[in-house]
């Protein structure tokens, strides 16, 4: 009898322990009304989880506010219901409303699906009490992400004296998941942030070294019986019209579109015709005070979704082996017409594949060209991966190829509970108009140890002179480089005299040593020490650094448009101070000041940014950057001013007015943008760009762009 009792107790204990990291989805034949009220009968009867634990500020402690989550689904959608109770509901912070809002500023709720249950990749969805929406693709178990990914989904919220409540509706066709399984099991996790307490709670994976983006720490979503097997077709035609005024007025108009075909829940085909790859927002101005080219991020939607599929795994910022801005944009960042393109993306049996081919038209000095890129990646072990990728350009009878092999060993169990990544990539370039050159290669090897209290990085890379990734961005050429970083980040006790500080950061070592690959002469040396760095429990911060630096010039270097720096090797030291207040406050600020030697002269730089969250409808921000340089051959004073007014009339109607000016070429750029979402998946953009030079209006572009979405 006693054995039976003990066995029963152990069985119940094991069941409770096991079920703490599981949530069961309930099938429904009657879809709930998506209004945020959560009073439909399917929600009342659905199984809920509520065991949330703090990650901040008091790791491991129970949440101070109750949070509940339930999941139901039908043949076409997944629905997630969220109950965010708050005993001080009047203190809830919710000022953001636009699409892809800065969710770090407000109370929010985050959910993530690891649909392949591969402990590597996930789809993350975020909302706040205003029903603002943000979505992010997560890769490499949180090691990389695509914040520009926009899926088709919706959410409604309600706020009252008990807290706030959210109701998500996510179409199954917007997700990718394995086929051939009668019952699916996905990884899933949830996070809630209570800003007025700075409390962060998670369902699973609340350790200091982890977070919601570490999908290998997620729980399990059970009982999904999905019948969708493909055949879904989405049409997204666009029409664009307007005028460009540059001396004389010239009408602009175009039409085209995309066809997205769901071959299966695993594979998708995207075809594009007469594609408009013009950006709807201006690049942020940068003044280059280095001898290396600038990097401008990709802002075009078509390329953003496949970011991870076409990543050669090289890492770092010296070489970007495949840089999508080489397609459809010329050297002056002007659009090159796209005739057509197609892309297939998918994952099956731990294998991820991507294939893209785009044809551009002849334009000015740009010949008719084809860009074809293929990638293959295989999951290895619990979290590791290996892959191949090749980017190719065919133009005027000439073929260029950049091909890479890469691999990464990852574990979150190093020394039991710590994250460790070891990996690298080898790349070979080839041009058909020259003989194959065995020295036209580059490699990079790295070790990453990213954890809460200690961060360590060690990398080594080499790129000989013959290597040239024409479809990439070569910010350095002919170089060999070693980089090392060691950072210590202790946390004071909350009850001690330094309890107002959440975490310190001391960096005794940040070291970069770069030489010319052919002679091993110094190209760049940089040793930075951070004497003090911290952020407070109220999310303000400060840091103080010193950098000892060298630049070895083989050729004379023109700084700006006026100062010629002779070829030589220069050594100097530079101090830096940085301070900021929490940007989630109604008024926040950030400031940076640096001073010291610069080549054979002196430099001081200063920047100040102020952000005013006027209301949930309007936010006004401004930034000033001033860089003053004094050298024996002359002086240079660079000034850059930016200002942005953001407005939102709801989650589906928002925009901005953005102005930026620099004195280097006396250029002022003005960008006006309004985005309307008549229905989820459909967009209307109203855009105006103006370019002023020396206080004279040089060019005005006014455009309206409509993208409509049809389901077949």
The model's pLDDT over 585-644, given as tens digits with 9 standing for 90+, comes to: 999 999 999 999 999 999 999 999 999 999 999 999 999 999 999 999 999 998 999 999
Is pLDDT at 303 greater than 80 in this prediction?
Answer: no
Asked which of 122-126, 304-308, 336-340, 472-476 is least confident by mean pLDDT, the reply is 304-308
Of the residues 444, 474, 504, which one is the last residue of a structural domain?
474
Q: Is residue 651 part of a domain?
A: no
212 and 303, same domain (yes or no): no
Q: Is residue 598 part of a domain?
A: no
182 and 36, same domain (yes or no): yes
Is pLDDT at 369 greater than 70 in this prediction?
Answer: yes
The enclosing domain of 24 has a CATH number of 2.60.40.1190
The model's pLDDT over 184-228, given as tens digits with 9 standing for 90+, comes to: 999 999 999 999 999 999 999 999 998 999 999 999 999 999 876
Q: What is the pLDDT at residue 343?
A: 92
Please state the domain count of the chain. 2
Which of 67-76, 327-336, 667-676 tops mean pLDDT?
67-76
**Mean pLDDT computed over 559-569:** 87
Q: Which domain covers residue 330, as residue numbers?
A: 292-474
336 and 455, same domain (yes or no): yes
Confidence of residue 296 (pLDDT cuts 50, 70, 90): low
**Mean pLDDT computed over 145-173:** 94
Of the residues 454, 474, 494, which one is the last residue of a structural domain?
474
Q: What does the alpha-carbon distance between residue 609 and residue 640 come to, in Å, rounded to a whole number?
A: 12
**Mean pLDDT computed over 339-352:** 90
Is pLDDT at 646 greater than 50 in this prediction?
Answer: yes
84 and 196, same domain (yes or no): yes
Which token pair is 163? Answer: 């807290």
Q: What does the alpha-carbon distance between residue 673 and residue 648 come to, in Å, rounded to a whole number?
A: 12
String of DSSP letters for 320-351? ESS-GGGSSB-TTS-B--EEEEEEEEEEETTE
220 and 326, same domain (yes or no): no
319 and 214, same domain (yes or no): no
453 and 304, same domain (yes or no): yes
Q: Is residue 630 part of a domain?
A: no
User: Where do we find the tokens 């229905």?
Assistant: 679
SS3 217: helix
Is pLDDT at 10 greater than 60 in this prediction?
Answer: no
Q: Is residue 671 part of a domain?
A: no
- The structure's pTM equals 0.89
Q: What does the alpha-carbon distance between residue 179 and residue 115 come to, in Å, rounded to a whole number?
A: 11
The model's pLDDT over 422-466, given as tens digits with 9 standing for 90+, comes to: 999 999 999 999 989 999 999 999 999 999 999 999 999 999 999
Q: What does the alpha-carbon distance between residue 576 and residue 572 come to, in Å, rounded to a whole number?
A: 14
CA-derived radius of gyration, the chain: 27
Is pLDDT at 288 greater than 60 in this prediction?
Answer: no
């Amino acid at each position: 009898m006693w054995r039976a009792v003990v066995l029963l107790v152990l069985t119940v204990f094991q069941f409770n322990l096991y079920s703490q990291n599981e949530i069961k989805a309930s099938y429904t034949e009657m879809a709930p009304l998506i209004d945020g009220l959560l009073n439909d009968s399917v929600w009342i009867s659905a199984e809920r989880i509520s065991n949330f634990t703090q990650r901040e500020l008091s790791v491991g402690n129970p949440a101070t506010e109750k949070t509940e989550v339930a999941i139901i689904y039908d043949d076409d959608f997944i629905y997630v219901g969220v109950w965010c109770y708050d005993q001080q509901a009047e203190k809830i912070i919710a000022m953001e409303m636009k699409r892809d809002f800065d969710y770090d500023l407000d109370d929010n709720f985050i959910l993530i699906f690891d649909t392949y249950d591969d402990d590597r990749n996930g789809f993350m969805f975020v909302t706040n009490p205003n029903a603002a929406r943000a979505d992010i693709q997560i890769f490499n178990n949180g090691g990389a992400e695509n914040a520009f990914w926009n899926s088709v989904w919706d959410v409604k919220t309600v706020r009252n004296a008990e807290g706030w409540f959210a109701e998500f509706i996510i179409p199954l066709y917007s997700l990718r998941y394995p086929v051939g399984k009668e019952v699916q099991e996905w990884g899933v996790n949830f996070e809630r942030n209570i800003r007025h307490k700075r409390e962060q709670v998670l369902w699973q994976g609340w350790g200091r070294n982890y977070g919601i983006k570490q999908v290998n720490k997620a729980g399990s979503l059970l009982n999904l019986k999905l019948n969708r097997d493909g055949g879904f077709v989405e049409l997204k035609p666009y029409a664009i019209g307007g005028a460009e005024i540059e001396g004389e007025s010239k009408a602009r108009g175009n039409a085209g579109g995309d066809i997205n075909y769901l071959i299966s829940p695993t594979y998708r085909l995207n075809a594009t015709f007469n594609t408009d790859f013009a950006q709807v927002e201006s690049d942020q101005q940068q003044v280059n005070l280095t001898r290396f080219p600038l990097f401008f991020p990709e802002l075009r939607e078509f390329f953003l979704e496949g970011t991870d599929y076409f990543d050669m795994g090289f890492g770092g910022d010296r070489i970007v082996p495949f840089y999508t801005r080489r397609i459809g944009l010329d050297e002056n960042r002007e659009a090159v017409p796209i005739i057509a393109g197609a892309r297939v993306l998918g994952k099956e049996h731990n294998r991820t594949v991507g294939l893209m081919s785009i044809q551009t038209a002849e334009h000015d000095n740009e010949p008719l060209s084809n860009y074809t890129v293929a990638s293959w990646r295989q999951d290895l072990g619990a979290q590791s991966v290996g892959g191949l990728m090749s980017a190719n350009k065919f133009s005027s009878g000439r073929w260029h190829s950049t091909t890479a092999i890469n691999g990464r060993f990852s574990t979150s169990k190093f020394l039991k509970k710590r994250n460790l990544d070891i990996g690298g990539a080898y790349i070979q370039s080839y041009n058909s108009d020259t003989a194959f050159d065995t020295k036209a290669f580059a490699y990079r090897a790295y070790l990453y140890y990213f954890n809460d209290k200690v961060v360590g990085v060690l990398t080594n890379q080499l790129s000989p002179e013959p290597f040239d990734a024409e479809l990439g961005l070569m910010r350095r050429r002919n170089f060999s480089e070693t980089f090392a970083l060691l950072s210590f980040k202790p946390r004071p006790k909350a009850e001690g005299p330094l309890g107002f500080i959440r975490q310190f950061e001391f960096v005794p070592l940040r070291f970069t040593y770069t030489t010319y690959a052919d002679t091993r002469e110094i190209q760049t040396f940089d040793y930075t020490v951070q004497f003090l760095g911290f952020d407070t429990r109220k999310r303000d911060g400060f840091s103080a650094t010193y950098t000892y630096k060298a630049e070895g010039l083989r050729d004379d270097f023109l700084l700006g448009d006026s100062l010629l720096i002779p070829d030589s090797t220069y050594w100097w030291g530079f101090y830096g101070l940085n301070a900021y207040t929490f940007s989630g406050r109604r008024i926040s600020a950030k400031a940076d000041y640096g001073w010291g030697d610069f080549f054979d002269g002196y430099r001081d730089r200063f920047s100040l940014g102020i952000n005013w969250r006027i209301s949930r409808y309007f936010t006004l921000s401004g930034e000033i950057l001033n860089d003053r340089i004094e050298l024996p051959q002359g002086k240079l004073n660079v000034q850059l001013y930016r200002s942005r007014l953001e407005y939102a009339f709801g989650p589906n109607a928002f925009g901005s007015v953005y102005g930026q000016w620099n004195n280097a070429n006396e250029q002022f750029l003005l960008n006006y943008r309004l985005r309307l979402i008549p229905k989820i998946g459909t967009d209307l953009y109203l855009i105006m760009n103006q370019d002023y030079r020396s206080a004279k209006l040089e060019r005005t572009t006014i455009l309206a762009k409509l993208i409509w979405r049809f389901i077949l």
